[in-house]
A and B are shown apart, each in its own frame.
Chain A
Amino acid sequence: DAGVIQSPRHEVTEMGQEVTLRCKPISGHNSLFWYRQTMMRGLELLIYFNNNVPIDDSGMPEDRFSAKMPNASFSTLKIQPSEPRDSAVYFCASRGGGRGPAFFGQGTRLTVV
């Protein structure tokens, strides 16, 4: 298994532009998580899905952020419009049934200028 795959690895965009981050979870995993990591705030949970259904999006900073999981093998996190304070590393992670470990992708480093 290739693990959790995120794309792109790096994204540089101008303020106001739309940004879409992509994630392919590990096959068979039924939970998917989006985290954001910054030096100031550490690793923050943005949203998570169980069986493709969004369960808790209370960590989404504001309405500019949205996430979808149209099927078990794909999820997107969209920021529209992007702002410089959105600059961070965004991680996607997936987890199988039960209470085991989460498996993380390599992250997308987003820079908004």
Chain B
Amino acid sequence: SQQGEEDPQALSIQEGENATMNCSYKTSINNLQWYRQNSGRGLVHLILIRSNEREKHSGRLRVTLDTSKKSSSLLITASRAADTASYFCATDAGSGNTPLVFGKGTRLSVIA
């Protein structure tokens, strides 16, 4: 079963606006990761946040993690048309080299 569930399923905004995507998960995690997928391409890792971290920044990306609510959010500030893509959260749970479990993603459209 899928661990992460993104919300909303689709989001359309104007260039320059901020985009916020949310992810909820069910079990305890070691870390949570966000990925981006352009149409017809593979997923690309964006940012990783560990279970003992609450917030992380990378360029125009800001990720928060609330382990008590089992949720995370990805904020893209000052969006650009090139940010148009699908965004996925993935949870890393358990011990050893366990796999990442992905949600169904949020399709973001940034209109120029």
Contacts and interface: CB of A to CB of B under 8 A. Distances in A.
Interface in A25-77: 30-31, 33, 35, 42-45, 48, 50, 56
Contacts of A35: 102
Contacts of B92: 99
Size category, B interface: 20 to 34
Interface string A97-113: 11111111111000000
Contacts of B90: 102
Interface of A: 4, 30-31, 33, 35, 42-45, 48, 50, 56, 91, 93, 95, 97-107
B99 A42 contact: no
A107 B92 CA distance: 22
User: In terms of DSSP, what is the predominant structure of the interface of chain A?
Assistant: strand
B99 A104 contact: no
A102 to B, nearest CB: 6
19 contacts: A31-B99, A33-B99, A42-B2, A42-B105, A48-B99, A50-B96, A50-B97, A91-B42, A91-B43, A99-B31, A99-B92, A99-B97, A100-B48, A101-B45, A102-B45, A102-B90, A103-B45, A104-B42, A104-B44
Contact of A42 (B41, B48, B96, B104): B104
A72 to B, nearest CB: 14
B99 A99 contact: no
Query: Across chains A and B, which 7 residue pairs bring their CB atoms closest together, nearest first?
Result: A104-B42, A101-B45, A42-B104, A43-B102, A104-B43, A48-B99, A31-B97
B102 A101 contact: no
A62 to B, nearest CB: 18
B7 to A, nearest CB: 14
Contacts of B102: 35, 42-43, 45
Contacts of A4: 42
